[in-house]
Structures are given as C-alpha cells and as structure tokens.
Structure 1
Amino acid sequence: MFQNIWQGRLDGEELLFHRLFQRVKEEQNYDNISTNDFALHGFAVDEGVRRNRGRQGAKDAPDVIRKNMSNFPVILPNFSMLDFGNITCEDGNLENAQNNLAKNVSKVLLKGGKSLVLGGGHEVTYAHYLGIKTAYPEQKIGIINIDAHFDNRQPEKGVGPSSGTGFWQIAQEGPINSLHIGIQRNSNTLKLFDTAHQYGMKYVLSDELFFENLPSVYQRIDDLLENVDFAYLTICMDVFNASIAPGVSASAYNGIFADATFMHFYRHILKNKKLVALDVAEVNPPFDIQDRTARLAACLVNEWLMI
C-alpha cells in the first residue's frame, strides 16, 4: 500500500546505514504493537477546514509528509514504527472520521505504543484527544497546542464542529489542561481570548517567544506537565511564518520561525516522559512551495523519533 511512499536512499542493510523507510512496517493488527513502538496514522481529512471556511487541501498531506520523512536516518537502535494507513472522510461525515481515529489511537496507547498522527486539518485535535481519553479515562491529560489560533470557537448552528472548535469541544467534557504556544493577537478575536480565560486555557503569545524569555516559557510548560498524568502535543503548521510554511490553510506573514528559540522549548517538550501522542496539522500541499511546509512538518515529527 505504501511501497511508493516509504522510499529513500539505500546505503546498506546494516543497522548503521538505516533510514526510516527501512524500518517502517505497514500494519493492520494492533496486537502487533510493542511497548514504545511508534504507531502512525494519517488523518487524510479536511472537512473541518471546509466547515471553518479555510483553504481546503490538507487531506492530501499525510502521504506527502511520509515521503519527506522517509530518508531521515534512524538514530536509535531499537526504533520501530508501524504505519496503520490513512483515515479518510469521503462522505463529509467528520464526526465519524474523528471517532474512527479516536478508536484506533486508544488501541495504540493501551498496547503501550506512542501515537503519531499526520493531518489533515486541525480537527484532528479533538479526535486525537478523544482517543487518549478513551485509553486513560481516569487520568489527567495535558495538551500543548503550538498554534497561532486557540481553536476554541463554539460550533456554528447548522455547520457543526470544525477545525476551529476542537478545544471548545474538549472543554465541554470536563476541566481542560492546555497550554497554547504561539498565539497571535491578530488571529484571535477578544471572544476567543475570553473563552480561553473562562476555561482556564493557558497561553504564550508569539511575541513572547524570544531567546531571553525561554526560562519563562520553560516554566509554563513545566507547570502544565508536572500536574498531568499524560501529555499530548499538537502542532498547527500555520503557527510558522509564511516564508517557511507557505502551504497551510491559513498562512501567517508574521508567524514564528523554527529557530534556536523554538527548537529549545520544542525539544524540552519532546523529552518529557509523559508525552504519549503527537500530531501535525494543516499542511496543505496544493499551496505548498517546494514541499517546504511538508518538509518542516516531517522534521518536527522526526525530532520525536530521535529522543
């Protein structure tokens, strides 16, 4: 199924030569997951983006990101990743697609695996969270959202949940433990800031992401993670500047960069042992240039695979 996607430079079959494409296994049986295996799903869905009036095309992203991951070198000798294919939404039934992903994610976590999801629109957030909550119903789950947007708007009547409603939906199910990093003042109305305050959603503005302020950013990350049982990291690629991430559903001319400051706090999150799930969202191949956005998403995912 993925033979034409997981391809790369073959330098040799010895472990020291291995690249990702040599270690990824196509899988359908969740019983074959071992502890600490990475279990990959593609969420080839952008129905939520359509409902949110964004630029469609993110449903094409999972396979493009896979291709850009394929050639990365394998760093850890015991690295293992199982690819369970793509979840689609051909009939416009977003809720069904979200439930399908949630069901599969819960199977991964109950087997001791690590859940990795390639979106798709940011409607993946609610689905991924639902899967974690299904696996750990009594545990406190912390969510770190690296994003220009809160995605906490209330669903419109007659439209339903979208790529912009995930955190509002999560907050309806009980106390939410979330930290939103990279929030843009010019991308969120006062209502969205007010909703964040009402539900206790913590945030770090994009303007606060500079090197001298890293101790404060670290502290806010640690404050969240120290008080939860499991952690989930979601990255919306529209948080980045349009020059390095042109292929997104809502581009940002003044977005952040994947510079030293970003990589410091990003790796700080990835090193936390409570992290069990990660996804990237809103890569939009039809609007990308030279696969810049897909390549950046692949690199961010690969950082987790090397820790």
Structure 2
Amino acid sequence: MTLWNGRIDAAEGAGGLRWHQVIQTYDGSQKLALIGFACDAGVARNQGRIGAAQGPDALRKALANLPVCGGMPADAGNIGCDDGHLEHAQACYTEALLSMLRNGTLPLGIGGGHEIARAAGRALYQAYPDAVIGIINIDPHLDLRLDNQASSGTPFRELAEDCAQAGRPFHYLCLGASRFANTRALFERAQQLQADIVYDTELLEQPLSATAESIRKFCAKTDLIYLTVDSDCIAGNPAVSAPAALGLPLHIVEFIVREVFASGKVRLADIAEYNPVYDRDHQGARMVARLFAVMADEAGKYSRITQNGTRQRSRRQYR
C-alpha cells in the first residue's frame, strides 16, 4: 500500500479525491479487486523483452493520481515468480483468483507477461465447471503457439487443450490480430480450434457498430466471459514486451472493453505485458492506467448490477 500516494487537493473536498486516497486493502469482502501477476518468465521463454514483472507496481503508481470517477477496486497485492518457476507462479495466481471468485469478487489482473492468461482462464474454468466460458483477447498476437514449455505465447493453446481434456467447448475471440505478427501455423491452429478473429485492419476500417456486433454475436453463445488485453495492442505504446507495428488507437480499445462489459457476462479481466523498462516519459503508463481505469469503471457497474440483481447476465446465474 506504500505505492499508493500522490497529489492531494484538500480544498476540493470529496470532489477532489484520487485513487490513492480511497483505495483499500482487499479483505475478501469487496466486490472488485486488483491483483498483480509480477512475472515475465513466460516472456523470457518466448524470447521477448523482459521487464513486465515490474508492471503491476509501476501501474499502481500511475493509477494513484487518477481522479475517483467510477469503479474502485481493493488491492489484493501481487503474486510473484521466483527463479523463473513459471508454472508454480501460475498455480498460485489461479488459487488466488479462485478464492476471489468464490467470494463473489470480480478480479482485475495486472501483468506481467501474457502467461497470466493461462492461470486466469484455469481459475474461471475451475470456479464454474458447468458454464460455457468465452475468452476475448484484444491482441495483435493469437498466442496459440505450440511449444514444449509454457510461455507468454502459448496460453490460449494450453487452455484449449484443458477444455479438450475436460470435454468442454473452447470459445476464443481474438480482436486486433495482425496478419504480420502470427505465423501460418498459428492461423491454421486458430482455424482448427474454430476461433473467431477480427483483424487489426478490420477494426480500423469498419464502423464501430460492426465491431460491437461481432462482440455481441460471440458473447451470445457463452454464459461467462474472460476478457484479457495485451497492452501491445495499443498503437504507439512503447512500454511493452513485443511492440506492435500497427496497433489500435486507444479509443477503439476502450470501446471494445466497454462493449464486452456491456454483455453483463464478464467475470474476470486483466491487462498484460505492460513493461515499464521501455516506457518513455510515462507515456505507456498513462495509456495503460487509463485503460485499466475504464475497465474498473465498467466492472464497478457490473458489481452494482449483480448486487442489486437487476440484470440477467446469462441463461443461468453464476455468482
């Protein structure tokens, strides 16, 4: 909690409050919680630029001075990774999320590398064994790579294999995939898994209404959604493990996040790959902090809805 400090506008009263003045330590009772996955061992295995393990704490500093204007998560701390033991760190993160989900908390994760997705997806599958779960990934990369060890490039292929072993359907939508950032083998695997893809060029050229329709169509076949955002999807963001050549303007990424939450089915969300080592003048920190604040705002609406019981989120009620 020592990371949460910043400017105080005392003369403004309650209307001048910032995140660092109101955020609480997570105690299991809050409906919304921030949790860090301070790990980039998967990035190292994937031959990316390490440094994302510092992302959760760096992002807390960037969030600290934001004005209070929407959902406010409690802080559940970090799950770390010692000596490159990725699988152990992922197991610990899964257990932490499971505890939150069973408490009725909506977790918002901060990576760390995109290996966070394998641990997060497993938690949701375990918490809701009878639910039809959809994964929405905003990312230039499909992250379906075949490898002999887990990495930041393998999480969704691993989750697909988990589903196959359990006899569950695997529903995966990648928004913003780049034709020039994925090999033919990855596209063929996506086709084999019947994954849905909307390319970066499509998102840039089509009206927002068409993007919203793609999201609604995907969400309609699921009970619950896991939303994950690789921050290298943001055009011009320097603070990432694998910079995108094109990327998406931040306003399009925000629009997608809001549309996914509007489904009322998001039960878990995170942002991955923020790498402060390569930031310039805190530009990346500001981008990712803003996006995380949008996510928290939308998740806060979700928490109020589920508490009041005013929206039917799916064919069945999963709490």
TM-score, reference length from structure 1: 0.90
2:164 maps to 1:172: no
2:60 maps to 1:62: no
1:74/1:306 contact within 8 Å kept: no
2:12 maps to 1:20: no
Residue 162 of structure 2 aligns to a residue whose secondary structure is coil
Q: 1:142 aligns with which of 131, 134, 137?
A: 134
2:93 maps to 1:101: yes
Shift of the alpha carbon at 1:212?
3.8
- The aligned counterpart of 2:143 is 151
2:263 maps to 1:272: yes
Distance, in Å, in 2 between the alignment partners of 1:180 and 1:14 is 43
2:254/2:294 contact within 8 Å kept: no
Shift of the alpha carbon at 1:168?
0.3
2:183 maps to 1:189: yes
Shift of the alpha carbon at 1:14?
4.8
Q: Gaps (5+ residues) in structure 2?
A: 164-168, 299-319
Partner deviation per Cα, 1:193-249 (whole Å, 9 max, x = no partner)? 0000101111100000136432322111111111211111111111222xx311111
Shift of the alpha carbon at 1:80?
4.4
Q: Gaps (5+ residues) in structure 1?
A: none
Residue 49 of structure 2 aligns to a residue whose secondary structure is coil
2:83 maps to 1:91: yes
1:23/1:81 contact within 8 Å kept: no
2:138/2:175 contact within 8 Å kept: yes
2:9 maps to 1:11: yes
What is the letter of the counterpart of residue 25 of structure 2?
E
Q: 1:198 aligns with which of 192, 195, 206?
A: 192
- The aligned counterpart of 1:43 is 37
Residue 267 of structure 1 aligns to a residue whose secondary structure is helix
Q: 2:152 aligns with which of 163, 175, 188?
A: 163
- The aligned counterpart of 2:316 is none
Q: 1:237 aligns with which of 231, 235, 239?
A: 231
1:61/1:294 contact within 8 Å kept: no
Q: 1:296 aligns with which of 287, 297, 308?
A: 287
2:108/2:296 contact within 8 Å kept: no
Deviates more, 1:205-214 or 1:221-230: 205-214
Distance, in Å, in 2 between the alignment partners of 1:294 and 1:138 is 38
1:45/1:121 contact within 8 Å kept: yes
- The aligned counterpart of 2:314 is none
- CA 1:119–1:152: 2 relative to 1, 3 Å: same
- The aligned counterpart of 1:248 is 240
2:50 maps to 1:52: no
Aligned residues: percent identity? 36
What is the letter of the counterpart of residue 300 of structure 1?
L
Higher helix share: 2
- CA 1:256–1:80: 2 relative to 1, 3 Å: closer
- The aligned counterpart of 2:213 is 219
Distance, in Å, in 2 between the alignment partners of 1:256 and 1:305 is 20
What is the letter of the counterpart of residue 87 of structure 1?
I
Deviates more, 1:116-125 or 1:85-94: 85-94
- The aligned counterpart of 1:112 is 104
